[in-house]
Structure 1
Amino acid sequence: MQLQEIGIIRNAYKSLTDIPRQGRLGDAVSEIVIHPAFADGLLRIEQHQHLIVLYWAHLAKRDLLKTLPPAARELHGVFASRSPGRPNPLSLCIAELIERDGSILRVKHLDALDGSAVIDIKPYTEMDRI
């Protein structure tokens, strides 16, 4: 399996303690800087109000299989939780697109650490709602 970084996240979240528990709980503006080789993939992205952002939580613990979620009283397996600590720290967040400036996307509600690698971006649509 090979993953390819398509961009990088820039924001004020410099340490793990800076990041809100869930992206929607924070209003900080983040920049998703797409690498030039992938900039054409942004064509018409501004037609979408929300984006699914997949990123690599590079500082997350990778040896955890059990965790205590915030509202729980008992341990849960990481696959039954939203914990960033997991064997493959692939994270997903729904972000609000504020604007596109060339190959830079400015978004709100992203819970990624500054310097995180962006793996993929997809539009979040009405079809994604349950």
Structure 2
Amino acid sequence: MRISAEELERTITKHGFRKLSLCDLGYNYLIQFRKIPEELTDLLKQKDASIVLHPVGIIRSKIEKPFLVAGEEGLKMQGDLKDAVVKIHEMPGEISNIIIYEGLDGILDGIEEYSHLVILYWAHKVPEEGRSLTRVHPMGREDIPEKGIFCTCSPARPNPVLMTVVHLKGRKGNVLEVLGLDAVDGSPVIDIKPYVKDFFPQEDVHIPEWMQRLQEEVNKGKSPNKTQS
């Protein structure tokens, strides 16, 4: 008698493995899993190991869908890069609203004294399989070798927390009007911090050649070379 998918998953977890995907083929199961390090297994057993985040607000923008889609096969660009580049260049002039939830009285007091803010938000459009990725081709570009997720700005992350520095145009009660926010409409806001330039390094900042090349292509609006097969 064949065991159920639920029982199989419990057995996998019991032995310290993390399920990435499980497909029922009818006569068998196709399973993708990753071993959880022993020290992490011990940590997960602790009652205080879980982290619970409560959104403080929501983003309203004209971006209806993300430029990059994360799935089991990695990152894929939605549509043509030229269209994405055009939208990226339009962002600095597009006003988005950050609506802070009621009940957080006083949390924005004094924020008008800053010209720029750091917005931390949750990439809610990233599916569960996208959060399991550990390596990707940056921006879905197969002509660039795979890099570790933490070496990229990919939205596909174990915890899809993204950050953008925005220009604060004004405040109307619990609503902030900002420029340059690249978040998808409906993204939950996790935190807001003032942007203080002295907190960020200004000199001796080094980035890899492939990242520099991507930035130049976006800034110049150039199309990428054809991807390798």
1:11-50 superposed matches below 5 A: 11-17=61-67, 25=89, 26-27=91-92, 28-50=94-116
Deviations 1:68-124 (A, max 9, x none): 124872110101111001111011111110111111001111111100000000000
TM-score by structure 2 length?
0.52
Compared CA separation, residues 125 and 24, structure 1 to 2 (3 A):
farther
Task: Give yes or no for the alignment of 1:111 onto 2:145.
Answer: no
Q: Secondary structure at the match of 2:103?
A: helix
Does the 8 Å contact 1:63/1:86 carry over to 2? yes
Match in the other structure for 2:124: 58
- Give the aligned residue type for 1:106: E
What stretches of structure 1 of length at least 5 have no aligned partner?
Answer: none
Task: Give yes or no for the alignment of 1:92 onto 2:158.
Answer: no
Does the 8 Å contact 1:67/1:78 carry over to 2? yes
What stretches of structure 2 of length at least 5 have no aligned partner?
Answer: 1-50, 68-77, 79-83, 202-229
Provide the rounded CA distance (Å) in 1 between the counterparts of 2:182 and 2:161.
13
Q: Secondary structure at the match of 1:59?
A: coil
TM-score by structure 1 length?
0.89
How far is 1:24 from its partner? Answer: 7.0
The number of aligned residues is 128
Per residue, is there more strand in 1 or in 2?
A: 1
How far is 1:6 from its partner? Answer: 0.3
Provide the rounded CA distance (Å) in 2 between the counterparts of 1:88 and 1:67.
15
Which protein, 1 or 2, shows the higher relative CO under an 8 Å CA cutoff with sep ≥ 6? Answer: 1
Per residue, is there more helix in 1 or in 2?
A: 2
RMSD: 2.1
